[in-house]
Amino acid sequence: MSAPFEDLDPAGPSPEDRVNALRGYKATISNPRTSDSAKQHAREMIDSLGGDQPREDLYQMRNPTKDPVRTAGGLKAATKNPRVTEGGKNRAQEKLGVMAEPSE
């Protein structure tokens, strides 16, 4: 069996095409009118397309890397904002801690 979208574009499917295909397969799985064999095929296709990886690729393509200095500034502001809940302040503080750790 050939790979999905192999004959569409020699450069390979775009991230949008892969995300749209995943949407269709996920709809097949949740449709009560589809057969068990169709649902199993949809699960296999989702696995072969990489699960949610196409969605993450599309996000990265549309949203280039954010400036870490601005991200840290926003998180720091959230920890001092009186309108942010205590849980939100704690999550912002945790993210700041993760950003400050040296990456391996």
The pLDDT value recorded for residue 16 is: 80
Poorest-pLDDT segment among 37-41, 73-77, 91-95, 97-101:
97-101
8 pLDDT exceeds 70? no
Residue 7 to residue 85: CA distance in whole angstroms: 52
Q: Is the pTM of this model over 0.95?
A: no
Residue 48 clears pLDDT 80, i.e. is over it: yes
* Residue 104 DSSP class: -
Q: Residue 50 is which amino acid? A: G
Q: Which two tokens stand for residue 13?
A: 């499917």
The pair of structure tokens assigned to 42 is 């949809």
CA dihedral of residues 24, 26, 32, 37 (deg, nearest 10): 90
Q: Which bin fits 83, alpha (ψ -120 to 50), beta or left (φ > 0)?
A: alpha
